[in-house]
């Protein structure tokens, strides 16, 4: 059994909408590991992954609602955290 302690992930489509979100995740989550698959990017981390509204807005130059992530989200693992300023997944065991 692989070491699975508190692993979480977000998987996004590899497209124009998702790219700034992926960049924002990379910037705000230095512990995250970015894995590329055909048509899809899977971001793995231990403990927590956060997408911040502010970081994404800086990248795309317009207002961004964290719920817009639904359009390019492929899958996730972890307990969802969601409010007006961020979207994320976490595990804490």
Partner 1 sequence: MSRKLNLRERYQRMTRDLAWEPSYQSKSDIYPQMEFEGIKIEDWDKWEDPFRLTMDSYWKYQAEKERKLYSIIDAFAQNNGHMNVTDARYVNALKLFLTGVSPLEYAAHRGFAMVGRQFPGAGAQVACQMQSIDELRHVQTQIHTISHYNKYFNGFHDFRHMHDRVWYLSVPKSFFDDAMSAGPFEFITAISFSFEYVLTNLLFMPFMSGAAFNGDMATVTFGFSAQSDESRHMTLGLEVIKFMAEQHPDNIPIIQKWIDKWFWRGYRLLTLVGMMMDYMLPKKVMSWREAWEIYFEQNGGALFEDMARYGLRMPKYWEQTIEGKDHITHQAWGIFYNYTHAAAFHTWMPDNEEMDWLSAKYPDSFDQYYRPRFEHWREQAEAGNRFYNPTLPMLCQTCQIPMGFTEPGDPTTIGFRASDFEGNRYHFCSDGCKDIFDNEPQKFCQAWMPVHQIYQGNCGGATVPDVLDWYHLNFGVDNFDYAQSPDRQHWQQWKGEAAEESDAPDEAA
Of the pair 2, 62, the CB lying nearest partner 1 is at: 2
Q: Which pair of structure tokens corresponds to residue 30? A: 């230095």
Beta carbon of residue 76, minimum distance to partner 1 (angstroms, whole number):
5
The beta-strand segments (E) located in the chain are 7-13, 33-37, 40-46, 48-52, 73-77, 79-82, 86-90
Q: How far is CA 72 from CA 2, 17, 24, 47, in A?
A: 28, 7, 14, 22
Residues at the contact surface with partner 1, assessed by CB under 8 A: 1-2, 4-9, 11, 13, 37-40, 42, 67-68, 70-80, 82-84, 91, 93
Beta carbon of residue 4, minimum distance to partner 1 (angstroms, whole number):
3
Of the pair 27, 68, the CB lying nearest partner 1 is at: 68
Beta carbon of residue 37, minimum distance to partner 1 (angstroms, whole number):
5
The answer to whether 55 and 28 have CB atoms below 8 angstroms apart is: yes
């Amino acid at each position: 059994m692989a070491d699975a302690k508190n692993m979480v992930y977000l998987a996004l489509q590899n497209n124009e909408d998702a790219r700034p979100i992926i960049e924002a995740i990379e910037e705000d989550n230095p512990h995250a590991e970015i894995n590329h698959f055909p048509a899809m990017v899977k971001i793995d981390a231990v403990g927590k992954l956060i997408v911040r509204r502010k970081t994404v807005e800086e990248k795309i130059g317009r207002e961004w609602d964290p719920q817009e992530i639904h359009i390019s989200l492929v899958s996730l693992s972890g307990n969802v955290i969601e409010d007006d300023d961020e979207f994320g997944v976490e595990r804490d065991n």
